[in-house]
Chains A and B, each alone.
Chain A
Amino acid sequence: MIGIDWKIVLEVIGMLIYATFMGFIFMGIERKAMARIQRRVGPPLYQPILDTLKLLGKKESVSHGLIYDFGPVFALGATITALLFIPIANFQLFSSNADLIVVAYLLEVPMLGIMLGAMSSGNPYSAVGVQRGLLTMVAMQLPYGLALIAIVQHWGSFKLSEIVALQSVHGWSITVPALLLAFIVFDIVFQAMLGLEPFDIITAPAEISMGPMLEYGGKHAALLFTQHAVQLFAETAFFAVLFLGGASNLIELLIKQIAVLFIAIFVASIYPRFTIDQAAKFFWKWPTIIGIIAVLLTV
């Protein structure tokens, strides 16, 4: 009989609820801040929660088949998995069982789920969205990888909890010059990870009407909203862990997450959208060059 560690079970359940809730609030902050920058009033912070509940309450949703249903489920499931392997503030969760490479991969898996569902819908706008999504990923993968490599080389460990511990002794990653370069690269890539301007090529509401998400409605869309919320929380936490020294409690983490989020929002509200080939050329130029300098400095 395997003994069940009830403490971790409670932590996991609590963290899932907290992350989902805060993720929705982050989405609300995003909308509100954008609105304020554009001198609009904007919706209340809890608006995304209302939206999701409304979508869940729809009487009927349409489906294009099994894979179409499986896509959002898989995306949310994989995001939850990724979240539980990141050390969140003083909660280690399962982070001692998987390292940076695993988490980096798990954070990309939801994309495949969304793409699977979008492709099976047969909508050409979705297909264009899929194409753009994957090309963005191809484009950002090299600078993203270089930034992660710089982190690992400097701290000498793949384990996220060890990276946090080392930062608490030697100072945050961004205080190291080479890692500051890695931070700049990661922050540019982060914009694409969150799907914000100038890299909101995937959804591009004005061009391809939300791309991959286009066909989804009802509970499918609710799942995707929830997935986006959890992903937002997980990615900002990942950022804070890698570059901002992690956190010793949830409040500290929250401040760092919101700081990261606000940088993304400010950048997003200034820049217009790239086309996909421009984005690829951009990523392979400056972020890659800075990334290479960063990894060579940390060898």
Chain B
Amino acid sequence: MINDLMILIFAPLVAGILAWAFDVRGIREAIGFIGAAIPVVILAKTYQTVLSNSINYTITVGGFKLIFQLTALNWYFAAVAAIVGIAMALGMISTSRSGYEWLFALMSYTGVLGVFLSQDFIGFFLLWELMTFASFMMVLRNNRHESLKYFVLSVIGAYAMMLGIAILYAKTGALDFATIRQALYMDLSIGAISKGESALLFVLFLTAFGVKAGAFPLHVWAPGAYSEANQSYTSFFSGALSKAGVYGILLLYILMGAKLYAEFGTFHGHLTFAYVIAWIGAITVVVASFLAVLQEDIRKLFAYSSVGQVGYILLAFGVGTSLGFAGGLFHVLSHAVFKGLFWLVTAAIILQTGKTKFKDMGGLAEKMPFTFAMGLIAVLSLSGIPPMAGFASKWLIYEAAIQAHMPLVAGAIFLGSGLAFAYVVRFLYAVWFGQRPSDLDNVKEAPLPLLIGMAILAIPNILFGVAPGLVTEYINKAFGSEIVGGDYFKLVTPTGTYNALLVTIVLVLGLAIAGLVFLYGATTRKIPVTNTYQSGNPVIEDYNLSIRRNFYKPLAEALDFWLKYSWDRFYERIAGIAEDFADTLRQSFYNGNVQSYSWYLAIVLLILALWGVL
């Protein structure tokens, strides 16, 4: 019997293979879209069931028992992936012309769903690798160097995870999550796993999941990989695939939380191991946001911003209180919808203009009004303007961090949100406003499927912003306790409160008052952007007066000391040294001289003889 869960996980992969096999325009897109839509349908169907009891499926492959389970928690992650997945498919109808991209995009979709649903390390690891491989292939198509960087870091993560799994297997003799969890819990009293081994396990898994989540200092692959894949796919890559790393961190808590707490105790009232995660998150937020502000390429800007926003989630999980988890989980959703939307907007801009640098753009708001409106929604949500989904989740994270008495970590959020303001305004100004370069005069609005994809992601931004209780209520049910009180429209924590609906109503009223003053004021006359005050200098079309390059130069000047250091350059240097070393080895040993090869053979035989093998 074919199980729902199997269809859910493997439908995208099958559709991807079919789309690749029948590489005909029209059919390819139709199959791909259906494949991406099936998980949405199944997840919608199972919504009622998962809250009361989980859906299980076990399959035996090659002697290994693979367990898949749809619980309330991983339904949430899968649903987030599915929303972004269907928007990605719509975007790809417009931006992709190849079966290759459909195959690997949908393959990584399967990988992500599989990672979320696996309940044992065999399936988890295999599907994790499938996800990594597919996303690597997507980057490889456009840029070899960036894809290799992604590959090397992913391999480091994979080895770390495999070692971790091996140690866990050696110690507990189990690979499925439930048994491991229980074994580690039992180990609290037995003490078979020493303190050093627990620390090793923690570091290994943190590395493995940190790479995917783009945590500092393992984030260096993300800017390159996010910007070099097809932008429609990047909406999924950054919106959903990076959440696999976040999910992994959550898994770390579920499996090893009690053990790590017992081994390392608390530090000034915080769980020590969680405190490490919180600080990694905080540093990621600050570093990535600063770098995002200084980017000159639209894709790089959003790539760094993605890294920074996932940092918020790590930070929230690191707080370690139930409110922190609620905030982090909410931010998983809101980041997926606003960043997915941003990438689709970017896809539309790049598709229609063919430019990626800010210096080549400008004045597009008149040409692409719908895309602009969608971009504005994403901007409002990302910069955390009430009442948007981005604000509700950030608000929870603030409350969690300050309530848990992590003042410096909370300070990092304040700084990060100021920086977020700065980089989204940069995007608004450089792309949409100001004088339009003459070569962009014929730009058209984005194609329809892409616009539908954007709308699908824009609606949750507003819906979950006005009614954040929809999400927190689900999270409450998933954890089985009342973490965030209130109703659909109002969030109540022990010390704070936020009524999203009332804020919306008052904001609308305020806008109405201001709008009335405006409407009953004088008549307006529209004038072109070139008709501005210039201290008496005439403005002529020949000079583009919009500031598009080095917009935040003063910030770069204020930061020049810090900008001298870069992890990216550090890794590149190590890579360069390794490459040079390998080159030297190759040139000196494999020199094509038969005589030297025979010498090697003689030496090896001599060594073996001395060893007593021969």
Contact = CB atoms under 8 A, between A and B. Distances in A.
Interface of A: 16, 56-65, 67, 69, 72-81, 84-85, 94, 96-102, 105-106, 108-109, 111-112, 115-116, 119-125, 127-128, 130-132, 134-135, 137-138, 140-142, 144-146, 148-150, 152-153, 156-159, 209, 214-215, 218-219, 222-223, 226, 275-277, 280-281, 291-292, 295-296, 298-299
B365 A215 contact: no
Interface of B: 268, 293, 363, 365-366, 383-386, 391, 395, 398-399, 402, 405, 407-408, 410-411, 413-415, 417-419, 421-422, 425, 428-429, 432-435, 490, 493, 495-499, 502-503, 506-507, 509-515, 517-518, 521-535, 545-547, 551-552, 554-555, 557-558
Contacts of B410: 145, 149
Contact of A130 (B293, B395, B429): B429
Contacts of B551: 127, 131
Given A98-B499, A130-B425, A223 B517 contact: yes
Contact of A80 (B432, B498, B513, B527): B513
A57 B517 CA distance: 12
Contacts of B555: 135, 138, 277, 280
Contacts of B498: 97-99, 101-102
A76 B514 CA distance: 6
A125 B533 CA distance: 9
Contact of A127 (B366, B383, B547): B547
B507 A77 contact: yes
Contact of B421 (A60, A134, A149): A134
A255 B512 CA distance: 32
B411 A120 contact: no
Given A97-B490, A122-B433, A124-B547, A137 B421 contact: yes
Given A112-B383, A215-B533, A159 B497 contact: yes
11 contacts: A16-B513, A59-B523, A60-B522, A67-B365, A73-B518, A76-B517, A105-B384, A106-B503, A135-B555, A138-B421, A145-B411
A63 B529 CA distance: 9
B514 A280 contact: no
B547 A128 contact: yes
A120 B433 contact: yes
A120 B518 CA distance: 18
A281 B558 contact: yes
A76 B411 contact: no
B421 A219 contact: no
B503 A98 contact: yes
Nearest to B286: A142
Nearest to B490: A97
Given A57-B522, A74-B514, A299-B407, 15 more contacts: A56-B522, A65-B366, A76-B517, A80-B509, A101-B398, A121-B529, A128-B547, A138-B421, A141-B417, A142-B411, A146-B407, A149-B402, A158-B497, A222-B521, A291-B411
Nearest to A155: B495
A254 to B, nearest CB: 23
A74 B405 CA distance: 35
Given A119-B429, A280-B554, A64 B514 contact: no
Contacts of B507: 77-78, 81
A135 B422 contact: yes
A60 B525 CA distance: 7
Contact of A157 (B422, B428, B495, B514): B495
A101 B496 contact: yes
A260 B311 CA distance: 37
Contacts of B407: 146, 149-150, 153, 295-296, 298-299
A212 to B, nearest CB: 11
B495 A158 contact: yes
A214 B533 contact: yes
Main SS class of interface, A? helix
A70 to B, nearest CB: 9
Contact of A115 (B411, B425, B502): B425
Nearest to B514: A76
A123 B429 contact: no
B512 to A, nearest CB: 8
A63 B526 contact: yes
Contacts of A58: 522
Looking at B268, B395, B421, B535, the one whose CB has the most chain A CB atoms below 10 A away is B421
A153 B383 contact: no
A223 to B, nearest CB: 6
Nearest to A136: B418
Given A63-B527, A97-B499, A159-B496, A131 B547 contact: yes
Contacts of A122: 363, 433-435, 529-530, 532, 545-546
Contact of B522 (A59, A65, A78): A59
A74 B459 CA distance: 21
Contact of A277 (B495, B534, B554): B554
B408 A295 contact: yes
Given A69-B524, A280-B558, A64 B411 contact: no
A145 B414 CA distance: 6
Contacts of A63: 524-527
A292 B408 CA distance: 7
Contacts of B432: 120
Nearest to B507: A81
A135 B554 contact: yes
A121 B523 contact: no
B372 to A, nearest CB: 9
A298 to B, nearest CB: 8
Given A138-B418, A141-B418, A299-B405, A77 B511 contact: yes
A63 to B, nearest CB: 4
A102 B394 CA distance: 10
Contacts of A74: 511, 514
B391 to A, nearest CB: 7
Contacts of B503: 81, 85, 97-98, 102, 106
B532 A219 contact: no
A73 B399 contact: no
B395 A101 contact: yes
A106 B554 contact: no
A127 to B, nearest CB: 5
B518 A69 contact: yes
Nearest to B526: A63
B506 A226 contact: no
Contacts of B514: 72-77, 80, 223
A235 B523 CA distance: 32
A96 B418 CA distance: 26
B517 A226 contact: yes
B116 to A, nearest CB: 31
B521 A218 contact: yes
Given A137-B418, A156-B495, A105 B526 contact: no
A197 to B, nearest CB: 18
B551 to A, nearest CB: 6
B428 A209 contact: no
A117 to B, nearest CB: 10
Contacts of A100: 496
B445 to A, nearest CB: 16
B547 A144 contact: no
Nearest to B523: A60
B504 to A, nearest CB: 9
A128 B506 CA distance: 32
A223 B518 CA distance: 8
A218 B293 CA distance: 34
A84 B524 CA distance: 30
A127 B495 contact: no
Contacts of B496: 99-101, 157-159
A141 B415 CA distance: 5
Nearest to A123: B532
Contacts of B531: 62
A132 B531 CA distance: 23
